[in-house]
Amino acid sequence: MLLEIVVLAAGQGTRMRSSLSKVLHPIGGRPMLQRVIDAAKTLDPSRIHVVTRPDAVQIRELINEPVSWVNQNEQLGTGHAVAQAMPGIAEGATVLVLFGDVPLVNPETIRRCAEVATQGQLCVVTARFSDPAELGRIVRGIDGNIERIVEFKDANPAERKIDEINSGIIAAPRQLMASFFATMTNHNAQNEYYMTDIVPHASAQGITVVGVRAGSEVEVAGVNNRAQLAEVERAWQQARAGELMLAGVTLADPARFDLRGNLTVGKDVFIDINCVLRGEVDLGDDVSIGPNVTITNSRIGSGVRVEPNTVIDGAVIEANCVIGPFARIRPGSQLAEGVHIGNFVETKKARLGKGTKANHLAYLGDTAVGAGCNIGAGTITCNYDGFAKHHTEIGNGVFVGSNATLVAPVELADDSFVAAGSTVTSKVEVGDLAVGRGKQRNIKGWTPPHRRAARQKE
């Protein structure tokens, strides 16, 4: 099947009230237009044509796909938009028309639609709506095929009771579309060229108009404003939540779960409320994610427990680690098996060895820490001198006391110790204790400033 797909993305999107093009607003972490292109690609078309306005630079920059970009210099309706792509469509091709603001279109539905069109017929994707409102109604004949599409304003009372609507998604042989565009008119209230007018054109030529029904309303739901965007987003999230639960994941509340990318899961995973998973996330067996956690582009090993209010981004966390609460694991962090990262600990480009612990109030940046170390509360690696980042190397079995300052570049050798409150600026050898404190001096009879001021007033 020689299939070419046209995606319409030239609408103004004024009801979104946004500087971002409507089709770039995300659903599940991906632009709506990208989701439509992803669905189109599953049909393995010879080409995908995306129709945009000439000034839609934003769209062309953000959608990194090998598509054919087509300009619609004037927005004169859907028929006019598709006509702009026709010169680039090969003779003998089947043409499938999709919409950049209908992001949840099902690949199987549009595949069936395209297959019908390869038989020389016109195919329209329809859907049943519980409340069709003012959408165009599908009128079928006794043979089950489509006789006509009636706009709400033109429908009689009986036709308005029809709950099957036109989605706008159409597939037809290129030859049929070319003949339609040659005679297309804009004799309507909007003075626009409508793609739906191809239905009576096909019928007049004795061509069967077949309706392929979508599985649900949301599959053909268009997005024109923020409220509709939220509705479609929640529908997408509910579908993903359902899939995950069928795969064995326990979601504390499916209505308070957000996946903005792709999630791979093992067995017996638990995800609490208000968690956001972004990009590519992999959760191993028996992973437990507490409430209000955000995980981005990370791999989490089996048996890991992520406590509430933790942020993990671009990290690899091996089995049986405990992270949080209120921890921040930044890109480049690699935590070996059994590492403990506690409350208000931040890591960045840090490698922590097996069983190492940093249980509270620490910063480890540009750091390699060996196995079995203890990083005391308040410890920081001073990795930035105002111009460049520097590395800290900590061996195995190192004990760093509370409130230690490690000024990079610096090395703490195996089994060394750093006394609490020390500033370390040079290498600590194997087994040595580093003490880098100022000498304590107690002043007898110290009078605080407020007392001195009170005495002066007397």
Quick one: DSSP state of residue 25? S
CA distances from 335 to 123, 139, 248, 274, 293 (A): 54, 62, 26, 25, 18
Which tokens is 231 given? 């509705």
Q: Is 113 in contact with 127 (CB distance < 8 Å)? A: no
Do 370 and 336 meet the contact criterion of CB atoms below 8 Å apart?
Answer: no
Q: Using CA atoms, how far apart are residues 308 and 206, in angstroms rounded to an integer?
A: 65
CB burial of 134-172 (b: ≥16 within 10 Å; e: otherwise) equals ebbbbbeeeeeebebbbbeeebeeeeeebebbbbbbbbb
Nearest to 424 by CA among 440, 402, 443, 408: 408
**Residue among 448, 444, 417 at smallest CA distance from 430:** 417
Secondary structure (3-state) at 364: strand
- 34 neighbors 103 (Cβ within 8 angstroms): no
Q: Do 59 and 9 contact (CB within 8 A), yes or no?
A: yes
Residue 219 φ then ψ, to 5°: -60, -30
Rounded Cα distance, 354 and 36, in Å: 44
Strands 334-335 and 305-306: unpaired
Minimal CA–CA distance to 398: which of 434, 447, 363, 345?
A: 434
CB 269 within 8 A of CB 248: yes
Write down how long the chain is.
458
Hey, what are 406's tokens?
A: 């490690």
- Give 389's DSSP letter: B
Find the largest Cα–Cα distance for the chain: 110
Element (H, E) at 53: none
Question: What residues are labeled active site?
Answer: 360
Contact 330, 347 (CB under 8 A): yes
